[in-house]
Amino acid sequence: MSEESTTASVGSGFISGLRASGNGLLVRVSAIAAIGGLLFGYDTGVISGALLYIKGDLHAGSLAQEWIVSSLLLGAILGAIASGYLADAISRKWTKVISGTVYVIGALGCAFAVNIPMLIGFRFVLGLSVGTASFVAPLYISECAPPKVRGGLVSFNQLAVTVGILLSYLVNFAFKDVTDNWRWMLGVAVIPGAALAIGMLTVPHTPRWLMQRGREDEARGVLKRLRGTDPDADIEGEIEEIKEANRTEGSSTVRDLLKPKIRPLLWVGIGLAVFQQFVGVNTVIYYAPTILSDTGLTKSSSITQTVFVGVTNVVFTVIAVLLLDRIGRRKLLLGGTIGLTVSLLLIAVYFTTPYLQQNAPYLALVALLIYIASFAVGLGPVFWLMISEIFPTGIRSKAMSVSTVANWGANFIVAATFLSLGNLITRQGTFYLYAALGIAAVIFFAAKVPETKDRSLEDIQRELTGVADPERES
Ligand code: BGC
C-alpha cells in the first residue's frame, strides 16, 4: 500500500471509493466515528448561544464566562493526553464507548447546573470526552479504512466537526425563545453522546489494536468483514504491514520525538496546531453571537445570523474535501490564511469606525463569513490532515497526540483570554492582534509547511529533515 494512496481519493473519488470498498460495515463504522466529530463540534458551538442567556441567569461576569467556555478545553487537553494511553490499554473501541458515556454525564450535569462552579465542573467533564473523541475518532477511522479512502475519511471527520457546530447553532436557534433555553441547548447533547456510546458497542475492535494484543486471527476476521467485496483488498498484505508498523512503533518512545531528525517534523505539527487556534477561529465560533450583538443586533437576531456562519463553515469544508487532492494542501492553506487575515483586519476596522457601524451594520457579518470560509477551505482541515501525513509510521500516533494536545492548549489560551483582552486592548485591538498572528502564520506556513499531495512520506520527510527515514538515521 503506497502512502500516496492514503490521501489520493479525497474528493470526488471518495464516495465511490467508500462504496466500492465496503459491505456496509465500513460505512457504519465511519458514520459512528463521525459522531465523535459531531460531539467535538456540537460542544464547541453550543456554548456561543447558551452564553447569552447563562450570563443573565447565573449572573456570570467576563471572567466566569471565560471559565464556562474554557473549562471544557482544559478537560479536552487532559482527555487528549489520557486517550493516548487508554486507546492502547483498553482498546480504541472501549475508549470511545467511555467517551460517549462521559459525554452524556457531562451534558446532563450542565443542563441541571444550579450555579457557575457546577456548570464549569461539568463543562470540564464534557471536555474529557471531547478531547478523547478528537484523538480517537481519526485513529479509529484510519485503522479501519482501506488506504484508498483513508485520507478522505480524515477530512470527513473535520466535516463532521463543522456539521456538529452547525447543529448546535440550529439547536440554539430552535430553543432561543423557550423557558430555560440554555439548559435545553446544553442538555440536547445527551442524544449524540448516547448514540456514540451505544453505536460503538456494535462495531468491532480495530485490526491494528487486535494485532497489538496478539489476536491475529480475530484481526484477520475483522479485516475481511471491513473489506467486504473490495476487489483491491489484500488482507495478508495489510496484516504484514500492521505487523511492521507495530514492530517499529512498539520500540519508539515519547523521547524519540526530540531526536534531531524528528524535531523539525514536530515543529511543523505544533506550528500548524498553534496557529490554527491563534488566528482566533474559536472566538468566532464561541463568540459570534456576542460579536454580532455588539454591533447593535438583538440577541435573537444575532443567534439567527450565527446560523449563516455555521452553514458557510460546512459548505466550505465540503469544498476543501473536494479540492485538497486536486490543487494541493499548500495553496489552500496559504490562500485561506491570507483570506482570513484580511477579514480579521476588516472586523478590526469595522469596530474602529463608528461611521461603518452606523451605515454598514451588515459588514461585521460579511467579514465573519469571509473569515470562516477562508478557515474552512484551508487551516481547518489541513491541520488535521497534515498531522496524519508528515510523521513516520513508528512515531505517528505519539506525534499526533502531541500535536492534538498543542491544538487544545492553544484553543484554551485563546478562549481564556478573548474577553479579558477586549477589556485590556479593546475589541478592535484584539482583532488586530489576531490579524498580526495571521500574518505570522502565513510566513511560517510559506517557509516550513511542505506540499504533501501525491507525495510519499519518505519524500516529505526528506524535504523536512534531509533524510528519508528520520527514525532510523537519528
Ligand atoms: C478546529 C476547531 C474549530 C473547528 C471549526 C477545527 O479544525 O480544530 O478548534 O472549532 O475546526 O470548524
- Mind listing the pLDDT tens digit for each residue in 162-215? 999 999 989 988 888 888 899 999 999 999 999 999 999 999 999 989 998 899
State the pLDDT confidence band at 472, using cuts at 50, 70 and 90.
low
Ligand 1: centre distance to CA 214 (Å):
36
Q: Ligand 1: distance of its center to the CA of 467 in Å?
A: 33
Over residues 338-367, the pLDDT tens digits come to 999 999 999 999 989 989 888 887 888 899
Per-residue confidence band for 8, with pLDDT thresholds at 50, 70 and 90: very low
The closest-lying atom of ligand 1 relative to the alpha carbon of residue 158 is: 7
More reliable by pLDDT, 100 or 152: 100
pLDDT at residue 107 above 80? yes
Task: Tell how far the Cα of 380 is from the centroid of ligand 1, in angstroms.
Answer: 6
pLDDT tens profile 20-66: 665 678 778 878 877 888 988 998 888 878 888 998 899 988 889 88
pLDDT at 469 over 70: no
For residue 264, report the distance from its CA to the centre of ligand 1, in Å: 24
pLDDT, greater one: 423 or 439: 439
Residue nearest to atom 7 of ligand 1 (CA): 380
The pLDDT of residue 284 is 84
Evaluate the CA torsion angle 201, 205, 209, 213 in order and state its sign.
Answer: positive
Q: Which of 158, 161, 337, 382 to mutate to test the pocket of ligand 1 (most atoms within 8 A of CB)?
A: 161
With a 6 Å cutoff on the Cβ, whether 158 touches ligand 1 is: yes
pLDDT digits (tens, 9 = 90+) for 270-293: 999 999 999 999 988 877 777 788
- Enumerate residues 6+ apart whose C-beta is below 8 A from 46: 168, 171, 172, 185, 186, 189
Q: How far is the CA of 183 from the centre of ligand 1 (A)?
A: 24
- Please report the pLDDT score of residue 7 as a whole number: 40
Give 355's contacts (C-beta < 8 A, 6+ positions apart). none
Classify each residue of 406-435 as buried b or exposed e, where b means 16 or more C-beta atoms within 10 Å of its C-beta: bbbbbbbebbbbbbebbeeeebbebbbbbb
Instruction: Give the tens place of pLDDT for each residue, 145-157.
Output: 776 666 667 777 8
In this structure, the residue with its CA closest to atom 12 of ligand 1 is 162
What predicted TM-score, i.e. pTM, was given to this entire model? 0.84
